[in-house]
Structures are given as structure tokens and as C-alpha cells.
Amino acid sequence: MNWFGDLRQCCVDRKMLTELRLERDRHLQTLHETIDGLKQNSDEYRIAVADYFASVDVVEARMAEIETAQTLRRAEKWRIPTPQRPYKEDEHTDFWQWHAVHGRYYVTDEAMRRVRREVYEEREMFLKPWLTWFAVLISVISLAVSALKL
């Protein structure tokens, strides 16, 4: 049953990330519509740009929250060690990045790539013995079929 729960969570996360990316694109479209015809020195222009960056920061922080949860679940499932979060606020490492919007640490893009690469290596190490036996089994079955045809 855990497998179905993991699959369901993956689908929910993927749908949420897609919706957040579309929302980010809508904010950009709204910004272009709002600043169309405004001078860059005007207050309305600056307010519109500031509102855009504030709303996009919230959306990107929610996306980072989901991606962090996915990465940590994947690392835990395959027993890949992850460094601890820093204790101080606003301290960046190669694995953790501070997001002031939510006031939390999220994993960096480099950390996601590293976990993905290590998961691939773990899967490969897990499947290698099984694939060898699978190849031997196919050879035995093909030998048996050819012997029965004689």
C-alpha cells in the first residue's frame, strides 16, 4: 500500500508544481500588461515590478518547498546521506539555500542534481545482480525451447 501512497504523492506534487509554474507565467503576463505604456521612471511602473517580484518570490518558495520534500524523500528511500541544515539563518551551503519568504532552508539545484545522480547509482547497483540472473534465465529458456523443437 505504501507504493500507491508514494505514487499518489508524486502525482499530487507534479500537478502542484505544474500549477505553480503556470501561476508564475500568469504573473509575468500580468506584469507585461500592467507596465505596457508606462515609463520606467514612474511610480506605477516601480510598484508593478515590485508586486511582480513579491508574488513570484512566494510562488518560487512554494515550488522550492515541494522540490525539497521530493528530494529528501528520494534520498531517504535510497538511504543517501544528506547534510544537516545550517543552524544560522541566511547561511548558504552547497546543499542548503535560505529562502527569506518562508524563513526556511530549501535544497539547492546542485543538491537535487547530486541526489538524482546518487539515486541513479544506487538503482544501478541494486539492479545489476538481478539483470545478470535475468539474462541467464532467458538463455536457459531459449535453450529449452530450441531443445523441444528438435
**pLDDT for 90:** 78
If one compares 120 and 90, the residue with the highest pLDDT of the two is 120
Is residue 1 predicted with pLDDT exceeding 80? no
Where exactly are the structural domains of the chain?
2-149
Q: Residues 64-99: pLDDT tens digits?
A: 999 999 999 999 999 999 999 998 887 878 999 998
**pLDDT for 121:** 96
Mean pLDDT of the chain: 93
Q: For residues 10-49, b (16+ Cβ closer than 10 Å) or e, as one string? A: eeeeeeeeeebeebbeebeeebeebbeeeeeeeeeeeebe
Q: What is the mean pLDDT of residues 43-55?
A: 95
Q: What share of the chain in percent tops pLDDT 90? A: 83
Other beta carbons within 10 Å of 62: 19
Is residue 19 predicted with pLDDT exceeding 90? yes
